[in-house]
Amino acid sequence: MLFSSLTFIYVFLAAVLPIYFIAPQRLKNHVLLVASLIFYLFGEPICVILLIISSLNDWLHSLYIEAHRGTRGAKVALISSIIVNLGLLGFFKYADFFIGTINTILGTDIPLLGIPLPIGISFFTFQTMSYTIDVYRGETHAKKNLATFATFVCLFPQLIAGPIVRYTDVEAELEDRKSTLAGMSSGISRFAVGLGKKVLIANMMGELCSAFRTSDERTVLFYWLYAVGFTLQIYFDFSGYSDMAVGLGRMFGFKFPENFNYPFISKTITEFWRRWHMTLSTWFRDYVYIPLGGNRVSKAKWIRNIAVVWLLTGFWHGAQWNFVLWGGMFGVLLLIEKFFLGGLLKKLPAVVSHIYVMFLVVISFVVFNASGLNGAVDDLGGLFGAGKIPFLGQESIYYLKSYALPIILAAIGSTPLLKKCWEKVSTGPRAVLEPIGMAAMIILSTAFIISGSFNPFLYFRF
């Protein structure tokens, strides 16, 4: 069930909110848990069993770790929990990838399993793993109430595409939270902004990308239109979903961590990854990079740590080699900045630094969205005229004229400019204009949903 669907907004959410608000405090988690299971059942009726198994796995292991803290048994339980989590993730997400790789290398013909990918498995697996690790580290206590813990795991606003919410982020709110009119108002506004990002901008950029993929014309101009269009699409798609998730969380009394902070204004690739998908970056930092030694090791091990983190980051996104290449690219770029370009980038004019970052980011997302390594090579070659393809053609000129203004407006919307302008408006007019603007955003988005057909969330496939 998509957040940007009429079924979710006007049926599911419209039914859940009043039930939640009239429920006694002691039953609010139960209402959310039941609603979350229904939400997941709507899209993944079979895989809800996997969600329950994942919850039970970490709940039981954590109780054992808590009871045997400081013993060898606690460490064995932690390892067992991680093996189960990664085993489920590996089987459902990567089994066919490994089989295909073995077939390619050894020339075998092992049949693929064709296992459907459970929606959100990468997200909720990381969330449950972080809980068990935190219990082992003593950063939180094991939760004895299974319903409360299951509510954390299954919480529908962030279940299937993040942000990656750790138990420690919402521990206090799971026990005692208050749903207020101010929180509801703030949540609706944030949800409306995210909905507008997704429906009015990301979907339009997605239509441009689809037009490129289905067209027979291949020109340098068309490749660059596609590259820029996809970069804007994935930003507004994923940040829009995160905005909606954060907004829904506020409606129910939770404060989820932010996931994006205007990454396209970055002056270095290092800064870009401090602003893009921040909950994933911090997860890998806290549970992989720092345990490996971080930067408090020899230079060789430091390079190894960065390489491991970024290859895993790429692999987390998808079971294809182009994702591994994508992660590896960023690992190399970060190392180059740390060892060679750091001082130079600080001295360059801001506009030059921005161009440097955006050029590399656009190139990286072409690799990200390619169909395997061969597709990545073809798409990158197209950007630079490989195969002597023409610079422009009739169709690419048509799409340039059709999408130039939306691309410019989307680019402006990806910066803090509009937010800064809004903050300069005095409090009185803002109090009147904000609810009118948010209502208009929801109505306009609804109209686009009704009239349009392109409405998938890109990160559901991860």
Q: Which residue has the tokens 């890998």?
A: 284
Alpha-carbon distance of 179 to 174, in angstroms, equals: 12
Q: Is 327 within 8 Å of 311 (Cβ atoms)?
A: yes
Alpha-carbon distance of 332 to 318, in angstroms, equals: 19
Percent of residues in the chain assigned helix, strand, coil, to nearest 5: 75, 0, 25
Residue 174: burial class (beta carbons within 10 Å; 0-12, 13-18, 19+): buried
- Helix 48-67 × helix 72-89 angle, to 10°: 170
| Residue 289, C-beta contacts closer than 8 angstroms, at least 6 positions apart | 305, 306, 309
Q: Is 147 within 8 Å of 33 (Cβ atoms)?
A: yes
Closest CA to 361 of 234, 184, 199, 202: 234
Alpha-carbon distance of 458 to 404, in angstroms, equals: 23
Number of Cα atoms under 13 Å in the Cβ half of residue 397: 5
Enzyme catalytic residues:
317
Alpha-carbon distance of 79 to 217, in angstroms, equals: 53
Alpha-carbon distance of 175 to 237, in angstroms, equals: 32
| Residue 183, C-beta contacts closer than 8 angstroms, at least 6 positions apart | 250, 251, 253
Per-residue b or e along 240-272, where b marks 16 or more CB atoms closer than 10 Å to that residue's CB = bbbbbbbbbbbbbbbebbebbeebbbbbbbbbb
DSSP secondary structure letters along 253-285? T--PPP--S-GGG-SSHHHHHHHSSHHHHHHHI
Q: Is 140 within 8 Å of 168 (Cβ atoms)?
A: yes
Is the link from the previous residue into 429 a cis peptide, with omega within 30 of 0?
Answer: no
**Token code pair at residue 32:** 């959310």
**CB atoms inside a 10 Å sphere around CB 171:** 17
Alpha-carbon distance of 214 to 229, in angstroms, equals: 15
Number of Cα atoms under 13 Å in the Cβ half of residue 202: 24
